[in-house]
Every structure is written in structure tokens, then in C-alpha cells.
Amino acid sequence: MSELPLTSPLLAIETSCDDTACAILSPDGTILAERVLSQTGHAALGGVVPEIAARAHLSALPAVLDETLRAAGTKLDDIGAFAASTGPGLIGGLIVGSSLAKGIAMAQHKPFVAVNHIEAHALTARLPGLTPTQIGFPYLLLLVSGGHCQCVAVRGVGRYERLGGTIDDAAGEAFDKVAKLLGLGWPGGPALEKLAKEGDPRAVDLPRPLLGREGCDFSFSGLKTAVARQIAPYGQEALPRQVAADIAASFQRCVADIMADRAEHALAMLPDATCIVVAGGVAANGELRARLEAVAAAHHLPFVAPPLRLCTDNAVMVGWAALETLKARADKNLDAPDDIPIAPRPRWPLAEVQAP
């Protein structure tokens, strides 16, 4: 990377959902320290309760921040810039994290970068050290998380083209809902993947919505309904273990088939793609990664998937997105952004992100 406008580390905060996270990165993107505290109380409630999540962030964030500073061996006075997820996400959590980062930045007279949470996922694959050489633009991003499922042409920092997305449920929502139908609780993705290893992915005939259809939109609502119909004959009785495993394996195979098909169509819409990148919490699913890697190999393209800890919500990706923004502005002889006035946004589409 060329010289950045920073000569001291950047501190980032992520509180967009139910993970309280901080990270400190050097100006070149080296991770000096990272901490993530995941809230566990939502499992008994069947999903994240926004008000409870916000209060938990408020309680936990100061200690997580202190732990991160200690781990990096640095003090607030040594930090050169601050960043925080400012949207999209749960508004209460966004307010907590961005307000703290803004307050410290103002007190320290340092720059604050408001980071789009989706953009942070989109740029994670460029983090130094993840690939032998930093991947170049444009590349195809498949963002698959609890609330997002879309194919994006990443053409540069702040330059994103949405090629397709879900028209109903996101892939992560489908995993969580099917897991709940199978009695696996929440969060459902990891539990469903574990159960699927015991099942036969060909045992249950399930639909593959939009498979082969032009474009790269997604639809998972019908697939979820089909699973519910498979379970309905058992009424209130607990599903036999093997039946549940077969359904889990068949559902997981369906999602992988759909994602691979949509990736093929997305590549046709982005013929100059340098690689395929998958990001977001569902990107931790092993079968999904394997299928997308096979698509990339068939097109003689590199496949990039961040380490599992960087697929779920984390502050490293927020810090890296901020560094990318600062570098892009410096390359155009622009000053550091004055993002203090930017209010947290529960909705912030990538299309509304401004290029430096």
C-alpha cells in the first residue's frame, strides 16, 4: 500500500447487532489487537431483541475498549483516527458504538470515519495478509449474512453495483428459521451445519427457487415453507434424529446449489471480475464455501473467503474499511473525512455509499 495519512494506529468499534467488538489496526492494516464479546442471552428469546442488545453494548463496550487498548499496548492518546459502524443495523447498538467513537475522536481532536457495515464486509478480502497479493478491483462479492444476501460488483472504494439480491428472506434468515423448525434453537446456522453432517443431502426433495433464472436474485421463503411441510406430519412430536439430519443436509445442499447458480449468473454480468469473494456470517458454512470455490475454479478465478472470525461481525473489518477510505481520499489529495455529523442509519444501502 502507498503511504497513508496516518502515522499512528486506528481504533474501530462494531456494535451493529449483538456483537460488541473493538479492534486496533496499524496504518498499513496490521491487526494490533481485536476483541469480540458475543451476547448470549438472546438464544433463550429465539433471536436478537434490539433494546436488550443496545443495553448490553452500553454495558460491555467500555471494558471491551479497555481490553483492546491493553492488548495492543497503546493508549487513547496514541490513536490517530477512530471509526465505527454507523449503519445499517439495529439503531440502538449503532448509536452506542458510533457515539462513543465520535466522543473520543472529538475529545482527542482526531478524525472519525463513519463506516457502512456492508462496505466493511465487502472490503475485508483486501485486508493485508489474507492473500499472497492484495486482490484488485473489480471483484464479485457474494454477501451472505443474517440480514443480507446479495451479489455485488466491487469496483473500488465507495464504488459498488448491486447485481442482484434476495426478494424475500436472506440466506442467514432461512438457516435460522429452518433450524428453529428442526428444534435447534438460535443462532441456527452452526447447529444446522453440524446436524447436516449426519444426514443424506439427497434424502428430501426440496425446491430450488430461481435456479437457472436470468440474473442473480435470490429467494428462500419458498424453500423454508417446503421444509415446514416436510416437518408438519410429525405434529408436536420431536423429529427422529435421522429425519432431522436428512432435512438439514438436504436444505443445506439446496442453499449451496442456489448460491452456486447465482454466482455463475453474476459472473456473466461481471466478465472482468478478478476473483470471487464471499463474506458475511453464512460464509462460515463449509459446504457453501466449497461450492463457491468450485465455481471460481471453473472460471479460473481465485476464491477468497476471510477467516471464520472475520466472516461474522467484527471490528477489524470496520477499521480496514476506514483505512481504505482514508487512503482513497489521500490518493485524491482530499482531507480526512469529517463524519461527526453523520447520524446512525438502520438502513444504508451500498448504492448510497459515496466514493471519495
- Tens-digit pLDDT profile for the chain (356 aa)? 344 568 899 999 999 999 999 999 999 999 999 999 998 777 667 778 999 999 999 999 999 999 999 999 999 999 999 999 999 999 999 999 999 999 999 999 999 999 999 999 999 999 999 999 999 999 999 999 777 899 999 999 999 999 999 999 889 899 999 999 999 977 789 999 999 999 999 999 999 999 999 999 999 999 999 999 999 999 988 899 999 999 999 999 999 999 999 999 999 999 999 999 999 888 889 999 999 999 999 999 999 999 989 988 999 999 999 999 999 999 999 888 889 999 999 999 998 998 98
Match 446512525 to its residue by C-alpha cell: 344
Q: What is the structure's pLDDT at 44? A: 63
Q: What is the structure's pLDDT at 163? A: 97
Contact 275, 135 (CB under 8 A): yes
Q: What is the structure's pLDDT at 4? A: 54
Residue 11, φ and ψ in degrees, nearest 5: -110, 130
301: three-class secondary structure by DSSP: coil
Q: Residue 145, annotated ligand binder? A: yes
Q: What is the structure's pLDDT at 284? A: 87
Residue 323, sorted as left (phi over 0), alpha (psi -120 to 50) or beta, turns out to be: alpha
Q: Residue 338, annotated ligand binder? A: no
Fold type of domain 137-305: Nucleotidyltransferase; domain 5 (3.30.420)
* Cα–Cα dist 154/349, whole Å: 14
Q: Which residues contact 334 (CB under 8 A, 6 or more apart)?
A: 356
Domain with CATH 3.30.420.40 in the chain: 10-125+310-352, 137-305
Q: Residue 270, annotated ligand binder? A: no
Q: Residue 193, annotated ligand binder? A: yes
Q: Residue 176, annotated ligand binder? A: yes
- End-to-end C-alpha distance for the chain, whole angstroms: 17
Q: Residue 117, annotated ligand binder? A: yes
Contact 318, 23 (CB under 8 A): yes
Q: Residue 143, annotated ligand binder? A: yes
Q: What is the structure's pLDDT at 40? A: 72
Q: Residue 285, annotated ligand binder? A: yes
Domain 10-125+310-352: give its CATH code.
Answer: 3.30.420.40
Q: What is the structure's pLDDT at 1? A: 38
Q: Residue 31 pairs with which residues in a beta bridge?
A: 25
pTM, full prediction: 0.93
